[in-house]
Amino acid sequence: MQSSSDEESRRSLTVIVLAAGLGTRMKSKTPKVLHEVCGKPMIVWVSEAIEAMEADRTLVVLGDGVESVHQVLPQSTEVVMQERQLGTGDAVRAARAALGDFEGDILVMCGDTPLVTGDALKGLLKMHASSAPACTLMTVELADPSHYGRICRDDDGRVTHIIEHRDATEEQKKIYEVNAGVYVFEAPALWEALAEVGSDNVQGEVYLTDVVGIMAGHGQVVLAHTVEDASVVLGVNSRMDLSVVTGIMQQRILEHHLLSGVTITDPASTYVESGVRIGRDTVIEPMTMLAGDTVVGEDCVIGPSTTMIDSSVDDGSTVVSSHLTGAEIAAGCSVGPFAYLRLGARLEAGAKAGTFVEIKNSLVGEGAKVPHLSYIGDAEIGAGTNIAAGNITANYDGVNKHRTVIGSNVNTGADTVFVAPVEVGDNAMTGAGSVITGDVPAGSLGIARSRQRNIDGYAGRKSPEGRGGDED
């Protein structure tokens, strides 16, 4: 927490996020910055990094076709529209009117750099504050600097200008220090220099990078803050870039869980989204995906080959080779293999949903078992009940859904169909092969099937020989 003296000495800070591009190289109807990285849109990752700055204002520059970006931003974020996409410099110009006579520092960054961290931004601001230059920009050295603007320095190592890759000479393309696209400007100096920027380049655009050369040409100080971790500045311009960034973010997420006491047997085949929480001493087996608002308790075993989306699993439970979406699993439960638990499925402590079982919008009570080959939909199953193989709750009459209520300590026969609405009382039973259409009282046996009748010699009469030979 900052002291009052720190607050008084700190210059006002405004952040401008450039997010007006349509991302044509993504070949997508979705605005580029809304493409997700490990469960979050790229610009949300950027917004979370900005939160560490405690900026006075945050402005996001949007363009036609990307208005939907506003919906995922924090309420405090201000939106500025760029009428035409004429480059990064033009995008910053679009924000000037909203800033009025602001004379503090302006942090400018792009909305397609989801790997940027709050620590990296703090390092940049710290250098800027220490020397109060006209501009401090973030740089990094890349083994393959293609598509990035190169940092040009004089003989004394001072930044003189930035040359875009597309405008660079062959000699300039040999420079490995590149512009990260993150800047801190002293506001009056920014507006003065930006007014001099033209569009005399290959793309006919107004480059924000030209501001650096103009400032240096006027004798103003431009500093470079070099970050060691090149990944923090990786931008996304294509699906290939997106896959690379996602892989790096996934590595960060898995490392976090590993360091928190989670065993991940095969990180290379495991996918865990950013919002997932996992308790210590839980084991995540190979080929497992945990996504959305998923919570896994302690001492669990999840996988192999398991998908969990927006689901919760409490301590000591096991989920093997199954798919869960919107399910709630209490402590000490067993799920799978090959179970499908859909939205509204709830298993209370010690319950079991076994092989080839599908459960939807249903409660399976404490210690109850649905071991195999059953569909349980819109139902309530009491504690200690055993659902035999091949049971079905027929919940849909073609128009409406109806519920099936099965009490505690019930034993159902194999291949029983419960035609809802229907109730089965505590300690009751059903006969195998029954179609239960009416309530079964507590302690009773419900049987609903035809009496078996054997017809002597019938099979022989149906055979070709019994009909007088082969048919033509």
Q: pLDDT by residue (tens digit) across 341-399?
A: 999 999 999 999 999 999 999 999 999 999 999 999 999 999 999 999 999 999 998 89
Quick one: fold of 12-233? Spore Coat Polysaccharide Biosynthesis Protein SpsA; Chain A (3.90.550)
**Selected residue with higher pLDDT from 145 and 65:** 145
Compute the mean pLDDT over every residue in the chain, rounded to the nearest whole number: 92
Could you identify the residue written with the tokens 């996934």? 250
pLDDT of residue 468: 54
Separation CA 62–CA 80 (nearest Å)? 6
pLDDT of residue 149: 87
**Tokens (6 digits) for 104:** 């503090």
Asked whether the beta carbons of 399 and 417 are under 8 A apart, the reply is: no
Q: Please compute the mean of the pLDDT values over residues 1-29 and round it to a whole number.
A: 74
Residues in contact with 66: Cβ distance below 8 Å, sequence separation at least 6, in sequence order: 19, 20, 21, 22, 31, 33, 34
pLDDT of residue 3: 43
Q: Please compute the mean of the pLDDT values over residues 274-287 and round it to a whole number.
A: 97
Separation CA 45–CA 288 (nearest Å)? 24
Summarised one tens digit per residue, pLDDT across range 326-337 is: 999 999 999 999
Residues in contact with 257: Cβ distance below 8 Å, sequence separation at least 6, in sequence order: 264, 272, 278, 284
Judged against a pLDDT cut of 50, whether residue 221 lies above it is answered with yes
Judged against a pLDDT cut of 70, whether residue 161 lies above it is answered with yes
Asked whether the beta carbons of 369 and 352 are under 8 A apart, the reply is: yes
pLDDT of residue 105: 96
Residues of the chain above pLDDT 90, percent: 75
CA torsion 423-424-430-432 (nearest 10°) is 40
pLDDT of residue 1: 41
**Selected residue with higher pLDDT from 461 and 400:** 400
Domain spanning 263-446: CATH 3.50.50.60: no
Annotate 96-137 with DSSP letters as a single string.
HHHHTT--SEEEEEETT-TT--HHHHHHHHHHHHHH--SEEE
SS3 351: coil
pLDDT interval class at 8 (50, 70, 90)? very low
Q: Please, where in the chain does CATH 3.90.550.10 lie?
A: 12-233
Residue 70 falls in the annotated catalytic set: no
pLDDT of residue 40: 96
Residue 277: beta bridge partners? 295
Separation CA 472–CA 470 (nearest Å)? 7
For residue 380, count CB atoms less than 10 angstroms from its CB and return exposed for 0-12, middle for 13-18, buried for 19 or more: middle
Q: Given 128, 161, 323, 372, which residue is catalytic?
A: 372
**Tokens (6 digits) for 130:** 């220490």
CA 231 to chain centre: 19
pLDDT of residue 201: 67
pLDDT interval class at 467 (50, 70, 90)? low
pLDDT of residue 157: 79
Asked whether the beta carbons of 247 and 267 are under 8 A apart, the reply is: no
The DSSP 8-state label assigned to residue 412 in this structure reads P
Judged against a pLDDT cut of 90, whether residue 196 lies above it is answered with yes
For residue 458, how many C-alpha atoms fall within 13 Å in the half-sphere facing its CB?
4
pLDDT of residue 464: 65
Plot region of 234 (φ>0 → left; ψ -120 to 50 → alpha; else → beta): beta
Separation CA 43–CA 236 (nearest Å)? 11
Q: Please compute the mean of the pLDDT values over residues 13-41 and round it to a whole number.
A: 91
Q: Please compute the mean of the pLDDT values over residues 150-162 and round it to a whole number.
A: 89
427-440 burial, b for 16+ CB within 10 Å, e for fewer? bbbbbeebbbeeeb
Write down how long the chain is. 472
Q: How far is CA 267 from CA 152, 253, 257, 264, 320, in A?
A: 40, 10, 11, 6, 17
Summarised one tens digit per residue, pLDDT across range 84-123 is: 878 899 999 999 989 999 999 999 999 999 999 999 999 9
pLDDT interval class at 10 (50, 70, 90)? low
Residue 287: beta bridge partners? none
Judged against a pLDDT cut of 70, whether residue 311 lies above it is answered with yes
Q: Please, where in the chain does CATH 2.160.10.10 lie?
A: 263-446
Plot region of 170 (φ>0 → left; ψ -120 to 50 → alpha; else → beta): alpha
Annotate 442-463 with DSSP letters as a single string.
TT-EE--SPPP---TTHHHHHS
Q: Please compute the mean of the pLDDT values over residues 150-161 and round it to a whole number.
A: 88
pLDDT of residue 461: 79
For residue 265, count CB atoms less than 10 angstroms from its CB and return exposed for 0-12, middle for 13-18, buried for 19 or more: middle
pLDDT of residue 167: 81
